[in-house]
């Protein structure tokens, strides 16, 4: 780790300082540094993480503060920043959680609860993933936490109920890097709902898929008021 740090320090420090001087959040600086120099020098992720955190969040930041009067500005602590600041920790929690999940069928949900979830689903603005991006072979829809309409039920409580009553299944989709993974799915109407399993404090997206739909266009044409 020491050799990797010393070898790339002369290049990393000015790059980190340059990014900080653009006003970029220090955690985004760290992320960019990881990617750029890990790929360039083929450094294992755990090594470049240790070296770059030490650099971009200490030495480069201190140098930046000496030449900028806005050094008293704090990073807003929201859910995305919380995850970025503690990515390794939360990814580990997610992995451990899924490893300990037993495969099971969906549990019977009381009808009154299901009715509430159905009404909540109807008032959300579901977005269809792009057909030319990462999910070109996996059409589905999603809604992000900050756009969630919580007039009927909160985002967190919806996800809690999903995890309480869901089935636990092995992934059967088309993305190779998801092959063999467990997933939690709650069927409501014609859709199966799922989040990605991180602790609720950093869960920001709720997804849904419909086995009848094979194309992105079919998802886009689905009436919002139908479940």
Query: What residues does each domain of the chain span?
Result: 2-75, 99-220
50-59, 85-94, 154-163, 178-187: the lowest-pLDDT one: 50-59
Give tens-digit pLDDT for 33-86: 666 666 666 666 555 455 555 555 565 556 555 555 444 455 566 777 788 878
Q: Which strand ranges, in their side-by-side order, compose the sheet holding 191-194?
A: 127-128, 141-144, 205-209, 191-194, 182-188, 167-170
Best CA proximity match to 159, nearest among 180, 181, 144: 144
Placement of tokens 């989040």 in the chain: 195
Q: What is the pLDDT of residue 218?
A: 95
Q: What is the pLDDT at residue 182?
A: 87
Helix (H, G, I), strand (E, B) or coil at 142: strand
What's the whole-model pTM score?
Answer: 0.66
CA gap 194, 106 in Å, rounded: 13
122 by Cβ neighbours in 10 Å (0-12 / 13-18 / 19+) ranks as middle
Coil vs helix vs strand at 216: helix
Average pLDDT over residues 161-171: 93
Q: Which residue has the higher pLDDT, 115 or 59?
A: 115
Euclidean distance between CA atoms 79 and 159, whole angstroms? 15
pLDDT of residue 3: 42
Q: Across residues 22-42, what is the average pLDDT?
A: 66
pLDDT at 122: 95
Kind and range of the H or E run holding 208: strand 205-209
């Amino acid at each position: 780790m020491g050799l990797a740090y010393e070898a790339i320090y002369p290049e990393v420090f000015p790059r980190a300082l340059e990014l900080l001087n653009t006003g970029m959040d220090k955690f985004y600086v760290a992320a960019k540094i990881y990617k750029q120099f890990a790929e360039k020098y083929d450094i294992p992720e755990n090594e470049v993480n240790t070296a770059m955190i030490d650099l971009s969040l200490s030495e480069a930041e201190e140098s930046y503060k000496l030449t900028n009067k806005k050094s008293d500005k704090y990073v807003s602590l929201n859910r995305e920043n919380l995850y970025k600041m503690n990515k390794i920790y939360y990814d580990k929690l997610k992995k451990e959680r899924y490893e300990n999940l037993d495969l099971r069928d969906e549990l019977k949900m009381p009808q009154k609860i299901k009715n509430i979830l159905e009404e909540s689903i109807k008032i959300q603005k579901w977005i269809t993933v792009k057909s030319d991006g990462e999910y070109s072979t996996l059409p589905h829809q999603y809604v992000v936490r900050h756009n969630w309409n919580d007039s009927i039920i909160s985002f967190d409580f919806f996800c809690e109920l999903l995890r309480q009553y869901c089935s636990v299944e092995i992934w059967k989709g088309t993305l190779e890097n998801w092959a063999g993974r467990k997933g939690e799915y709650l069927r409501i109407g014609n859709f199966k709902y799922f989040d990605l399993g991180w602790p609720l404090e950093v869960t920001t997206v709720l997804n849904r898929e419909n086995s009848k739909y094979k194309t992105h266009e079919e998802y886009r044409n689905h009436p919002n008021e139908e479940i």
